[in-house]
Amino acid sequence: MARITLRQLLDHAAERSYGVPAFNINNMEQGLAIMQAAKACDAPVIIQASRGARSYANDIMLAKMMEALTEIYPDIPLCVHQDHGNSEATCLSAIRHGFTSVMMDGSLESDAKTAASYDYNVSITERVTRMAHAVGASVEGELGVLGSLESGHGEAEDGHGAEGALSHDQLLTDPEQAVDFAGRTKVDALAIAMGTSHGAYKFSRKPDGDILAMHVIEAIHQKLPNTHLVMHGSSSVPQKLQDVINRFGGEMPQTFGVPVEEIERGIRHGVRKINIDTDCRMAMTGQLRKIASENPSEFDPRKFLKPAMDAMRDLCLDRFERFGTAGNASRIKVLPMDEMARRYAAGELDPRIATARAA
């Protein structure tokens, strides 16, 4: 029984100054790759499923797979998280299927396309937090809209992401508003906008402070030192992975992601959860293309999926090590959700806004 809540895990990460990658999954191979990497370096894990992943894999399949992973790897604390929940229903059905944490992304309306008002965001996030905390589950909120400071547009990938032009005010989270938002919603973790976006095409050049606004993280952390910050769109889109894909018939135009050293800098300033999906997809796809190209007569899916899984495992292992997650699984004594619910009810887990204001 090693299923952990996001709140307990990120509290531990904050105490010991490390970050935790949150890897997206859609299938068994990705789940196994992450857990193999975690086992190899004693890292606690966040596995997250988007709404797209839930409909692709089926909620029951995902729930049983999480159960299986905790049985196979009983010593690895595993947080199962809903990525970009768009409504109360999405978040509550995730919890019903064994998720220990949900993201209520109220930065967008429930269509996951239209930038929402601040009042809408506060009100829906506060409602979800109240319901989730009653059963001990954790909540991540988002303030600010993900999108590119280069193009002034959000990314609409697989039906998720703001459509149309966005102002810098929308694309950069306001630190004062972040204090108000954390206090009113009582979220356990706060995703912020600072120029990252989902997918492979984040930046047209190696990002500097003009297009990857790390200073926003630092400003928010100064005002909210006790709130766990989350970086979305944090794949690094490594050149090596682009090259493998393109060497074996891919046609990915040159692109740049978030350099790992910038994430390490974020971790020094309160970033505790780092969302990574694209890098894992690219690691797997590179190997699938390589096998298909080198062995055109091959037809056993395992011959494709095993190298793909290994490449994803290596990517995950690297991030566990670079973010300082490695070595921490065995240091955590997992608290059951009931105990977390009791602590919320007793007011022991409120974000310490008063301390933050005094700091």
Residue 112 · residue 159 · CB < 8 Å: yes
Segment interacting with ligand G3H, rule: CB under 6 A, options 48-56, 96-104, 168-176, 300-308: 48-56
Residue 324 C-beta: closest distance to ligand G3H, Å: 23
51 belongs to the binding site for Zn ion (CB under 5 A):
no
3 contacts which partner out of ligand G3H, Zn ion, ligand 13P, none, CB within 5 to 8 A by kind?
none
Please indicate whether residue 338 is annotated as part of the active site.
Answer: no
Residue 234 interacting partner from Zn ion, ligand G3H, ligand 13P, none (CB closer than 5 to 8 Å by kind): ligand 13P
Select 78 or 276, whichever has its Cβ closest to ligand 13P. 276
Report the alpha-carbon distance of residue 172 to residue 248 in Å, rounded.
Answer: 38
DSSP state of 335: P
Helix (H, G, I), strand (E, B) or coil at 229: strand
CB nearer ligand G3H, residue 158 or residue 261? 158
24 binds ligand G3H (CB under 6 A): yes
Q: How far is the CB of 195 from Zn ion (least distance, A)?
A: 14
CA–CA separation, 182 vs 54, rounded Å?
28
Q: In the window 267-306, what residues touch Zn ion (CB under 5 A)?
A: 275
Taking CB under 6 A as the binding criterion, the range among 46-54, 110-118, 321-329, 332-340 that sits at the site for ligand G3H is 46-54
CA gap 321, 142 in Å, rounded: 27
Shortest Å, Cβ 141 to ligand 13P: 13
Angle between helix axes 337-345 and 118-134 (nearest 10 degrees) is 120
Per CB under 6 A, the list member of 41, 52, 127, 250 interacting with ligand G3H is 52
Neighbouring CB atoms inside 10 A of 293's CB total: 12
Q: CA–CA distance from 352 to each of 36, 227, 234, 358 (Å)?
A: 36, 8, 27, 10
Q: Which of 161, 183, 195, 199 contacts ligand 13P by CB under 6 A?
A: 199
**H or E segment to which residue 81 belongs:** strand 78-85
Interface residues for ligand G3H in 170-199 (CB under 6 A)?
198
What is the footprint of ligand 13P within residues 270-309 (CB under 6 A)?
275-278
- 276/284 with CB nearer ligand 13P: 276
* Catalytically annotated residue among 42, 59, 75, 83: 83
**Angle at the Cα of 108 (from 102 to 109), degrees rounded to 5?**
100
Give yes or no for a contact between 15 and 324, defined as CB atoms under 8 angstroms apart.
no
* Degrees to nearest 5, angle at CA 182 with 178 and 187: 130
* Residue that has been written with the tokens 């938002």 in this structure: 181
HSE value, Cβ hemisphere, 13 Å, CA-based, for 53: 23
Residues 75-104 contacting ligand 13P, CB under 6 A: 83-84
In whole angstroms, how close is the CB of 97 to ligand 13P at the nearest point? Answer: 18
> Residue 232, interface with Zn ion (CB under 5 A)?
yes
Shortest Cβ distance from residue 22 to ligand G3H (Å)?
A: 10
Q: Rounded to an integer, what distance in angstroms lies between the CA atom of residue 13 and that of residue 3? A: 16
**Residue 151 or 246 with smaller CB distance to Zn ion:** 151
What is the spatial distance between Cα 314 and Cα 17, in angstroms, rounded to a whole number? Answer: 23
Which residues are known to be catalytic?
Answer: 83
Q: For binding to ligand 13P (CB under 6 A), which residues are involved?
A: 24, 83-84, 198-199, 232-235, 275-278
Q: For binding to ligand G3H (CB under 6 A), which residues are involved?
A: 24, 50, 52-53, 83-84, 158, 160, 198, 277
